[in-house]
Chain A
Amino acid sequence: MSNSPIVVAHDEHNPALRHHFADMEQQREASEMGMWVFLITEIMFFGGMFLAYIVYRYLYYPAWVAGSEHMDFWWGTINTVVLICSSLTMALAVRSAQVGQRKMLVMLLIVTMLLGCVFLGIKAVEYHGHWVEHQFPGPSFHFEGPDPQHVELFFSLYWAMTGFHALHMLIGVVLVGFIAFFGWHGKYGPDYYNPVENTGLYWHFVDIVWIYLYPLLYLISHRHLH
């Protein structure tokens, strides 16, 4: 339970207060913890794939080096910068909600969405490149060089991990869109901004996943073919 004094009469309260909570502060704290519990499940989700990556990298390091050399270093680096900037705009958007700046909030959320779409667009370009070079695992896979089976394994993990990450990005962009819509209609302000904050947490989490994916997938080797 929170220690903040209840400053409104019993029958007047913030319209966003759910009745099973004693006050807004408790609701905010519950919502915050709940969001983190969800993010922990996401850590479990991605954690499994990271483990698979680490195990196979340990076992088949040369194939990992070879696979990583076929990643486009510049697209990956640009995407990393794009995502970190989008996290910045998202954090600023949460701050705007906290201080009640409605227009600023919506603008920042829209910029966040745009940056997210830029990321997805670059990913699409990369995927297309990988596809035409026969780097998608399956019957169409073809790799010139030693150990193609294990390089195919690298690419399986690449497509799976970045694919799930991109899916999370897409969901994130849609969520930010919803928040922008509600924000435009004035639903959020200094007394109630939980959804903005939670969407921010989700967005930053997806960013952190990419922060780890980037060096693991793109920066294994000195050489870069692209």
Chain B
Amino acid sequence: MVLTVVTAAASRIDLRQYSAAVALAIATTKALLVALFFMGVKYISQKMTIVVIVAGLFWLGILLVLSMTDYAWRAFG
């Protein structure tokens, strides 16, 4: 649990050698830790609930990935 506080500290050191990918990777790790342990996703008994969560995250993935690929393929810069 204290690890999550440590990762917040680690993201500050990104001042010097910065990259968006690294910051997002750290954020995703933190979010996963929060989800698994604090939110008890690890201990959810029903499969259906897991399906709901995965479906929601998949939806978000579609939203972000498909929208961005659309923009990336447009002719203007």
Contact = CB atoms under 8 A, between A and B. Distances in A.
A39 B59 CA distance: 13
A219 B14 contact: yes
B15 interface: yes
Contacts of B24: 212, 215
Interface residues of B, number: 42
A94 B34 CA distance: 14
Contacts of B31: 208, 211-212
A88 B14 CA distance: 24
Contacts of B18: 219, 221-222
Contact of B60 (A47, A84, A85, A201): A47
Contact of B1 (A44, A77, A88, A212): A88
A58 to B, nearest CB: 6
Contacts of B71: 55, 58-59
Given A40-B56, A197-B40, A215-B24, A33 B49 contact: yes
Interface string A50-68: 1100110011000000000
Nearest to A25: B45
Interface residues of A, number: 44
A205 B60 CA distance: 15
A224 interface: yes
19 contacts: A32-B44, A33-B46, A39-B56, A47-B59, A50-B64, A51-B64, A55-B68, A77-B8, A77-B12, A81-B8, A85-B5, A90-B38, A204-B34, A211-B27, A212-B27, A212-B31, A215-B24, A220-B20, A222-B16
Nearest 3 A-B pairs (CB), nearest first? A40-B56, A215-B23, A91-B38
